[in-house]
Amino acid sequence: MWAALTSPEAAAAVIALVGALLAAYWGGRAGGKSAVAAAQTQNQGIADQGAINARRVVYAEFARDARALADGVHQYVMADGPALDADTAAYTQVLDRARWSYDVVSIEGPQSVREAAKLFIDQAIACRVRESWHSSVVAAFNKLDALMLTGDGDQLHAVLALRQEMDQIRRAARALPQDWRSQARGWARNANTDLRARWQEERDRLPGGAPTFEDVATLVSLLRDHVDPAAPLNTAVQAGYLTSQDASKISTYAVTWAEEDDPRERVLRGLLPMQEALDAFVRKANRVLHPEESEEDFGEA
């Protein structure tokens, strides 16, 4: 019997059996590892998708609140009437909401989206501050438009005369550099000013690009006539069509921003950085949420 067990055939059978057992063992381990790896990959995919879904919600909420803030800034600087207190309250409310949404974006990240969101908030605040002076000018110009539509002959005549007066001042101011315009306003307020002597002093101090005396004298003369009680702008104030503040804003605008016929166009251009910052946030968010898409899909090519 021992001979049978130690025969070459028996030994080969034992070796085959052991090999089969080892193969089964290691094959089972390899299969187990593959199953674990597959499960881990699946779990990571689920986790990644969950993170993307969470970011999508956060980004969408910020975009919604950012749009409301942009509308609030636009409403404030382009207000149709004098209800600036109400517009300020509405702006404060949407700003607080957008800041809260930004805090959540800053937690979710990544840095590119966080920075884009902060840039929008900064631009919205800066645009409102920068264009706030023009908001009262816009309100005054809106009043003029409303007076043109009333059908009242006296009001229409007053507005047309006022616009003609402002056009003359604007054309004269365009002939002067910005620094000279403020000087001309100061000289116009003092009827006893030796205008030629002042012009020569300023010309010698700033020889580059000095306007002619005739151009300076024209603007000063128009501004002096402009303060006369019978001047169209003052007549509109006396008739109650405009307030004295409206008149001051319209007059200042005509000289300082003589190249701009309508302050509303200037304000809209001033709001562009805010809109561009919001568009940039949307592009950054899309790039994070859809990394498989090309830059052309986000309008950045």
Domain boundaries, the chain: 12-132+272-298, 150-270
Query: What local confidence, expressed as pLDDT, does residue 2 receive?
Result: 45
Query: What local confidence, expressed as pLDDT, does residue 226 receive?
Result: 81
pTM value is 0.67
CATH architecture, domain defined by 12-132+272-298:
Up-down Bundle (1.20)
Report the alpha-carbon distance of residue 261 to residue 242 in Å, rounded.
19
Q: What are phi and psi of 206, to 5 degrees?
A: -125, 75
Tokens of 71: 């509308």
Report the alpha-carbon distance of residue 221 to residue 226 in Å, rounded.
8
Query: What local confidence, expressed as pLDDT, does residue 159 receive?
Result: 86
CB 137 within 8 A of CB 250: yes
With vertex at residue 92, the alpha carbon angle to CA 90 and CA 97, rounded to the nearest 5 degrees, is: 100
**Radius of gyration over alpha carbons of the chain, in Å?**
37
Kindly tell me if the per-residue pLDDT of 47 is higher than 60: no
pLDDT tens figures, 69-113: 999 998 888 866 555 566 778 888 999 999 999 999 999 989 999
